[in-house]
Amino acid sequence: MTNRLLIHCCCVHCSAYTLQYWRDQGHDVTAYWYNPNIHPFTEHERRREALEAFAEGEGIPFIVAPAYDLEKYFRAVAGHEAERCPDCYRLRLDATAVWAAANGFDAFTSSLLISPMQKHDRIVEAARAAGESSGVRFEYADLRKRYSDSRRITKPLELYRQQYCGCLFSEYERFGVPERGESRS
């Protein structure tokens, strides 16, 4: 039996294999974009456009959440920025599960589950809680061993490739800033 599966997608490089995997499992997949954590907004749009191009090329329906929710993200992580990831997962997966429930999907999952750089157990915890509160089944698969396969799928397509996880804090951690009085040149 084919299930309608809504897949929260964080970026094209994590989503490519994830979307194909679930489709190969017999699901009717739809990509869902809700990532208010990605900053700046120009970065958010570059990532969204790359995923949209991939989904279109694969014939996968692509839904963009109606709101960017910048303020909601910052409120969720304020005061505990160093431990922000679980709140970020919860925010995005709750929104995905609510969308799935409101639009007749049988289940939901996330491309976050393929990344070896994410906090896997915290993603699963947030997704299970979102599934319970929304009444929509959470579909789980540990795809971390297939992460390089996903990158191989997208590399020849020359789609935008990000340099940090997505939030302002991860950008800062990735690139840092010079000490006062130092220059970057």
Buried b (16+ CB within 10 A) or exposed e, 70-95: eeebbebbeeeeeebbbbbbbbbbbb
Query: Is residue 166 predicted with pLDDT exceeding 60?
Result: yes
- For 14, 21, 75, 111, 113, the CA distances from 146, given in Å and listed in that order, are 10, 10, 34, 11, 10
- Whole-number Å distance between alpha carbons of 4 and 18: 15
- Expressed in percent and rounded to 5, the helix, strand and coil fractions of the chain are 55, 10, 35
pLDDT digits (tens, 9 = 90+) for 68-102: 999 998 899 899 878 888 999 999 999 999 999 99
Structural domains in the chain?
4-175 (3.40.50.620)
Considering only the C-alpha atoms of the chain, give the largest distance between any 2 of them, rounded to a whole number of Å.
Answer: 63
SS3 state of residue 34: coil
pLDDT for 173 equals 62
In this prediction, residue 176 has a pLDDT band, given cuts at 50, 70 and 90, of confident
